[in-house]
Amino acid sequence: MSAPYPDEPDLIGAAGFIFQGPVRAKRSKVKKPPDGPLAAAKKARQAKALRRLIGASIAGVTRKQPEVMVKVSGAAKGAKHLREHLAYITRNGKLTAEVSDASNDGQATLLEGSADVRQLAAEWYARGGSGRRSNTRETVNMVLSMPAGTDRQSLAIAAAAFARAEFGGKFDYILVHHEDTDHPHAHLTVRARNDRGQRLDPRKEDLQRWRERFAAQLRQAGVQAAATPRRARGVVQKATRQAVRHLDKRRGANTSRWRIQQAVRTLQAQRTGKAPDEPWRKAIAERQRKIRAAWGTVAVALEQQGDVGLAIQVRSFIAAMPPVATQQDQMIERIKSNPQLLAKTERALQAEQDQGRAPRRK
The CATH number linked to 89 is 3.30.930.30
Is the C-alpha dihedral spanning 211, 216, 222, 227 positive or negative? positive
In sequence order, what DSSP letters do the residues of 273-330 get, joined into one string?
T-PPP-HHHHHHHHHHHHHHHHHHHHHHHHHHTT-HHHHHHHHHHHHHPPPP--HHHH
Same domain, 81 and 205: yes
- What average pLDDT does range 186-192 have in this prediction? 96
Look at residue 5 in the predicted model and tell me its pLDDT: 36
Contacting residues for 56 by C-beta, under 8 A, at least 6 apart:
4
Read off the pLDDT band of 24 (50, 70, 90): very low
44-48, 208-212, 305-309, 335-339: which has the minimum mean pLDDT? 44-48
Q: What are the C-alpha distances in Å from 70 to residues 6, 144, 186, 228, 358?
A: 25, 5, 10, 12, 54
Q: Is residue 326 part of a domain?
A: no
Q: Which of 220, 253, 287 is the last residue of a domain?
A: 220
For residue 267, give the H/E element and its range. helix 253-271
Backbone angles phi, psi at 74, to 5 degrees: 155, -160
Q: Could you tell me if 208 and 152 lie in one domain? A: yes
Please give the Cα distance from 223 to 149 (Å, whole number).
11
Last residue of a domain, one of 62, 78, 97: 62
Rounded CA-CA distance 209/78 in Å is: 29
Q: Is the pLDDT of residue 359 over 60?
A: no
Alpha carbon distances (Å) from 194 to 106, 163, 187: 12, 15, 19
Residue 297 lies in a domain: no
Least confident of 172-176, 210-214, 352-356: 352-356
Q: What angle do CA 300, 228, 314 make, to 5 degrees?
A: 25
CB of 335 closer than 8 Å to CB of 345: yes
- For residues 76 and 198, state if they share a domain: yes
Do both 40 and 119 map to the same domain?
no
Contact (Cβ atoms closer than 8 angstroms) between residue 143 and residue 73: yes
Per-residue pLDDT at 20: 58
**DSSP-assigned letter for residue 193:** B
User: Above pLDDT 70, what percent of the chain?
Assistant: 70
Across the chain, how many H-helices and E-strands are there? 12, 6
Which residues are CB-neighbours of 29 under 8 A, at least 6 positions away?
none
Kindly state the average pLDDT of the residues 270-291. Answer: 74
Q: What does the pLDDT read at residue 46?
A: 59
103 vs 99 pLDDT, higher one: 99
**Residue 149's domain spans which residues?**
69-220
Helices 339-357 and 253-271, axial angle in degrees (round to 10): 90
Q: For residue 263, give every residue at least 6 positions away whose Cβ sits within 8 Å of its Cβ, in sequence order, or none.
A: 328, 331, 332, 334, 335
Same domain as 165, residue 31:
no
79 and 215, same domain (yes or no): yes
118 shares a domain with 56:
no
Residue 173's φ and ψ, nearest 5 degrees, are: -150, 165
> Are residues 46 and 170 both part of a single domain?
no
pLDDT at residue 235 tops 90:
no
Residue 90 lies in a domain: yes
Q: CA angle, 352 as apex, 348 and 356 as ends, to 5°?
A: 165
Q: How many CB atoms lie within 10 A of CB 39?
A: 12
Question: Does residue 277 lie within any of the structural domains?
Answer: no
154 and 207 assigned to the same domain: yes
Torsion sign over Cα 287, 288, 289, 292 = positive
Answer yes or no: do 39 and 91 share one domain.
no
Let me know whether 57 and 153 are in one domain: no
H or E stretch at 198: none
Please give the model's pTM, rounded to 2 decimal places: 0.60
In whole angstroms, what is the distance from residue 200 CA to residue 204 CA? 13
27 and 143 together in one domain? no
Percent of the chain's residues with pLDDT above 90? 30
Could you tell me which of 21, 24, 5, 13 has the C-alpha nearest to residue 233? 21
Inter-residue contact 318 to 333 (CB < 8 Å): no
User: Domain end: 44, 62, 80, which one?
Assistant: 62
Q: How many CA atoms lie within 13 A of 131 on its CB side?
A: 1
Least confident of 28-32, 97-101, 166-170, 203-207: 28-32
Comparing 73 with 1, which gets the higher pLDDT?
73
Flag whether 345 is in a domain: no
Domain assignment of residue 333, yes or no: no
Q: Does residue 324 fall inside a structural domain?
A: no
Q: What is the number of domains present in the chain?
A: 2
Q: What is the pLDDT of residue 139?
A: 95
The answer to the question of residue 96 being in a domain is: yes
* Dihedral sign computed on CA atoms, order 105, 108, 114, 116: negative
Contacting residues for 333 by C-beta, under 8 A, at least 6 apart: none
